[in-house]
Amino acid sequence: MTPRNLTPTRPPSAPGTPTALSATGLRKHYGRALALDGFDLEIARGTVHGLLGPNGAGKTTAVRCLTTLSSIDEGAATIDGIDVRQHPALVRERIGLVGQFHAVDEALTARQNLVLFARLSGLSKVRARSRADELLESFQLTDAADRAVSGFSGGMRRRLDISAGLVLTPAMLFLDEPTTGLDPRGRATVWQAVREIAAAGTTVLLTTQYLDEADQLASRISVMDHGRVVAEGSPSELKRRLGGDRVDAVIADAALLAQAADVIGRVAAAAASVDPDTRTITVEVADGAKALTPIVRELDLAGIAIDDLALRRPTLDEVFLHLTGQPGAADAAQQPAHEEAR
């Protein structure tokens, strides 16, 4: 299920524009709360940029301000070289927006939705129809084209939602948490769609709460917290700063925790942390899945039984811990009660 054979309605971007999007020092107040507090962002043309952050970091506010849905209090922003504050109407001609909500008309069919949005974007009746057919086919919705959207699954709605943002091939596509609430299959479909949209020349800004999603899709990632970008880089740069994957080992016998931490720490050649409440030992490993076998073998030789063993990416909280030296907004209240063990 991939968008294919999708012909852009026009060249996605005016040639000669150096950056697709540039924002400097954006500020946005909601009452006394500061939703954006000196937000800076620079996105090169034709790339996928991930905007990563916990709930309440200001991701959606940033997208609303950049897409002209909300006014900007302070700062400057351009999209495709056009000033967002001075020429919102021109900016709207060059962007596509897929918000967090399924902004399609439930009572209409998929085709009726797309034809309506295409005609409102300025296409003639004939071209709006052929564009709708094209989008429906690209997003594998042809079979459901004439059914009411109210009967669609979450993944189908999301696909329709994304295709509605592409009626005029945008220079810049904004995807605000496009996979939130989707099952793994729906997520994979959306990921593939994003890759192909970017391959066709559209620049994509994608907000997400999931590190692996940004990792999969984005060539650069900005990490956002408290209304500003706190770190930026390619996924590998950020990962290098974060260290590698983590292995979580749940030890069957709590009495053997210290001994197990010792074994695991020695195998991984890193400090292992112990959480006595969950009998979990966590260690950073450099070589991913290859680290699992020696850990299992050494624990077995030492006669230590394990209930569970898992390899995982650093969590968003760990990202924040690393990048800012403090827990992210999502988890500010509960500091992990880990003890360091050698």
Site residues, another protein (CB under 8 A): 2-12, 30, 67-71, 89, 92-93, 95-97, 99, 101-109, 112, 116-117, 119-124, 127, 148, 164, 168, 192, 196, 199-201
User: How far, in whole angstroms, is CA 44 from its chain's centroid?
Assistant: 17
Rank residues 120 and 310 by Cβ distance to another protein and give the closer one: 120
- Distance between CA atoms of residues 34 and 128, nearest Å: 41
Rank residues 71 and 326 by Cβ distance to another protein and give the closer one: 71
The helix/strand/coil state of 148 is strand
Tell me the closest approach of the beta carbon of residue 107 to another protein, in angstroms: 5
Tell me the closest approach of the beta carbon of residue 66 to another protein, in angstroms: 11
Residue 169: CB atoms within 10 Å: 21
Tell me the closest approach of the beta carbon of residue 47 to another protein, in angstroms: 16
Rank residues 97 and 272 by Cβ distance to another protein and give the closer one: 97
Tell me the closest approach of the beta carbon of residue 168 to another protein, in angstroms: 6
- Distance between CA atoms of residues 181 and 183, nearest Å: 7
Rank residues 105 and 331 by Cβ distance to another protein and give the closer one: 105
Rank residues 171 and 274 by Cβ distance to another protein and give the closer one: 171
The DSSP line for 212-259 is HHHHHH-SEEEEEETTEEEEEE-HHHHHHHH-SEEEEEEES-GGGHHH
332-338, Cβ contacts within 8 angstroms, sequence gap of 24 or more: 336/275, 337/275, 337/277, 338/273, 338/274, 338/275, 338/282
Tell me the closest approach of the beta carbon of residue 321 to another protein, in angstroms: 34
- Distance between CA atoms of residues 241 and 294, nearest Å: 25
As given in the structure block, the two tokens for residue 31 are: 């009452």
CA distances from 59 to 65, 226, 243, 264 (A): 10, 10, 25, 38
Rank residues 35 and 285 by Cβ distance to another protein and give the closer one: 35
Question: Checking phi first, is residue 197 left (phi over 0); if not, alpha (psi -120 to 50) or beta?
Answer: alpha
Residue 276: CB atoms within 10 Å: 12
Rank residues 8 and 25 by Cβ distance to another protein and give the closer one: 8
Q: Are 304 and 228 in contact (CB under 8 A)?
A: no
Tell me the closest approach of the beta carbon of residue 131 to another protein, in angstroms: 10
β-bridge mates for residue 49, sequence order: 205, 220
As given in the structure block, the two tokens for residue 73 are: 């209090």
Tell me the closest approach of the beta carbon of residue 62 to another protein, in angstroms: 15
As given in the structure block, the two tokens for residue 25 are: 């020092």
Rank residues 28 and 49 by Cβ distance to another protein and give the closer one: 28
Tell me the closest approach of the beta carbon of residue 39 to another protein, in angstroms: 17
